[in-house]
Amino acid sequence: MTTGFEVAGGGSLSGRVRVPGDKSISHRSMMLGALADGVTRVSGFLEGADAISTMNVFRALGVRIDGPDNGIVTVHGVGIDGLRPPAAPLDCGNAGTAMRLLMGLLAGQRFESVLIGDESLSRRPMRRVSEPLALMGARIETSATGTPPVRILPADRLKGIDYSMTVASAQVKSAILLAGLYSEGETAVTEPAPTRDHTERMLTGFGVTVERHGARASVRGGQRLRATTLDVPADISSAAFFLVGAAIAPGSDLLLEHVGMNPTRTGVIDILRLMGAHIEVLSPREVGGEPVADLRVRAGPLKGIEVPVELVPLAIDEFPVLFVAAACAQGRTVVTGAHELRVKESDRIAVMADGLAALGIPATATPDGMIIEGLGSEAMPFAGGTVESHGDHRIAMAFAMAALRARGPIRIRDTANVATSFPGFTALAAGAGVRIADVDDL
Ligand code: S3P
């Protein structure tokens, strides 16, 4: 028995929606709050399984954390050298961000730790982090194929490196910068394309000097973090499902409130606008070092595009639902340069191509992207049917939005992991107009 979604075809989205807090920022709020001197108060924290995994890891490392209570969390920081040896392996659940950033943070500790994860995380590549950390003097063991479990042995003081990343990955960049806090001298990392910069911004908010020159970010070891107050904006990656839903469902007019608008995250808006979507950015403001705005989105015809490759890292988590938008666009959409999608919570290229095909959409998976022949001229491009999410939260939510333009019900299997990033998705989506219900045995 697995849980699933049953989503009736048709409908439109309207009203106001505030999606849960940003996952990337929530993870980092626990990490930096724990390492700080003093008490950090967080509001808007994502009460999803991924961020809770990170919270529980720090509890296991001896940090007192109160909450979450309606998004409020209080972290009693133990200082940069105050973490305690864990009594058992640290469980990161489904969260790649937790595991990779923790590898950097734990590499500089004087105790041993082991990081484990669920079935999906246990298949994901960790050498992209363990290799640069080894250059810093870290001692990290993975499985023979570079996957979890990850054993981090105590190391002598790490030394700074000047590292050029081969993949555009904020997780790799962040792990190296966090290890840099425990390293001698300067630790620098250069990215091949801009990736999300929440770590750099939040470190600055905790009083750490982070230098940025073009694509190179650096930090000097030995700095202390000062506790602060954090207000986590709504997650643009969760808002993305509603942006696409309202863009494709005729008659929709939806307001998304308090959405994080960090320019390293807004690729989904740029891509949807290139496709012709009507998205207005209202009341832009800054909250705790991160830009925030309300987004109004209205339905309208979309057209197929070649997605500019420089936008790919800025929308990396949004491709499942962008593929749904492409299916509803007029003409061909081509995505290239997105090989990273193959090593997310599932192989998002293969899984989306299969799901789209099951719903009658001509989609061809390529090694680094997808070619989709949009059926936008049809009122209901998607046939009804059953799709497999492979336990990937973003696949499940993307196909829930597809039902807004489906001729019959779409059933989505294996949806329990939606709670990793978007607790309460079913109720929020139903309130906005998606004809969705949870079902117990699909
Ligand atoms: C994240 C970075 C991205 C993203 C993930 C969260 C982060 O991964 O896919 O969901 O919080 O740093 P990569 O940096 O590996 O692309």
Segment 108-131 mean pLDDT: 98
Residue 316 near ligand 1, beta carbon < 6 Å: yes
Answer whether residue 126 shows pLDDT above 70. Answer: yes
Residue 421 near ligand 1, beta carbon < 6 Å: no
Q: Does the annotation count 118 as an active-site position? A: no
Tell me the best of 171, 394, 422 to mutate to test the pocket of ligand 1, counting ligand atoms within 8 Å of each CB and taking the most: 171
| Ligand 1 centroid – CA 146 distance (Å) | 18
CATH topology of domain 2-21+233-441: UDP-n-acetylglucosamine1-carboxyvinyl-transferase; Chain (3.65.10)
Which residue's entry shows tokens 């005729």? 250
Q: What's the mean pLDDT when you consider all of the chain?
A: 98
**Kindly report the CA angle at 288 between 286 and 293, in degrees rounded to 5?**
30
Segment 5-12 mean pLDDT: 98
Per-residue model confidence (pLDDT) at position 162: 98
Residue in 22, 50, 91, 317 annotated catalytic: 317
| Ligand 1 centroid – CA 31 distance (Å) | 15
Task: Say yes or no: do domains 2-21+233-441 and 23-231 share a fold.
Answer: yes
Per-residue model confidence (pLDDT) at position 283: 98
- Cβ burial, residue 367 (10 Å; 0-12/13-18/19+): exposed
For 200-223, the pLDDT digits (tens) are 999 999 999 999 999 999 999 999
Answer whether residue 307 shows pLDDT above 70. Answer: yes
Residue 257: pLDDT band with limits 50, 70, 90: very high
- Residue bearing the CA closest to ligand 1, atom 16: 169
Residue 317 near ligand 1, beta carbon < 6 Å: yes
What share of the chain has pLDDT > 70, as a percent? Answer: 100
Answer whether residue 376 shows pLDDT above 70. Answer: yes
Per-residue model confidence (pLDDT) at position 164: 98
DSSP letter for 19, please: P
Residue 340 near ligand 1, beta carbon < 6 Å: yes
For 184-194, the pLDDT digits (tens) are 999 999 999 99
Q: Strand 278-287 to strand 290-298: parallel, antiparallel, or no bridges (unpaired)? A: antiparallel
Per-residue model confidence (pLDDT) at position 141: 98
CATH number for the domain whose boundaries are 23-231:
3.65.10.10
Residue 156: pLDDT band with limits 50, 70, 90: confident
Using DSSP's 3-state secondary structure scheme, residue 373 falls into strand
Q: Which atom of ligand 1 is nearest to the CA of 27?
A: 11
Per-residue model confidence (pLDDT) at position 441: 78
Segment 342-369 mean pLDDT: 98
Residue 2: pLDDT band with limits 50, 70, 90: confident
Per-residue model confidence (pLDDT) at position 1: 54
Which two tokens mark 141?
């063991």
Per-residue model confidence (pLDDT) at position 288: 86
Q: CB of 125 within 8 A of CB of 101?
A: no
Whether the pTM exceeds 0.95: the reply is: yes
Segment 70-90 mean pLDDT: 98
Answer whether residue 400 shows pLDDT above 90. Answer: yes
| Ligand 1 centroid – CA 191 distance (Å) | 13
| Ligand 1 centroid – CA 1 distance (Å) | 31
Tell me the best of 97, 317, 345 to mutate to test the pocket of ligand 1, counting ligand atoms within 8 Å of each CB and taking the most: 97
- Residue bearing the CA closest to ligand 1, atom 9: 317
Per-residue model confidence (pLDDT) at position 270: 98
Q: Which atom of ligand 1 is nearest to the CA of 172?
A: 14
Which residue's entry shows tokens 């696949």? 395
For the chain, the structural domain boundaries read 2-21+233-441, 23-231
The full DSSP string for 222-291 is: TPPPBP-EEEPPBPHHHHHHHHHHHHHSTT-EEEEEEEE--TTTTHHHHHHHHTT-EEEEEEEEEETTEE
Among 307, 295, 315, 305, which Cα is nearest to 252's? Answer: 295
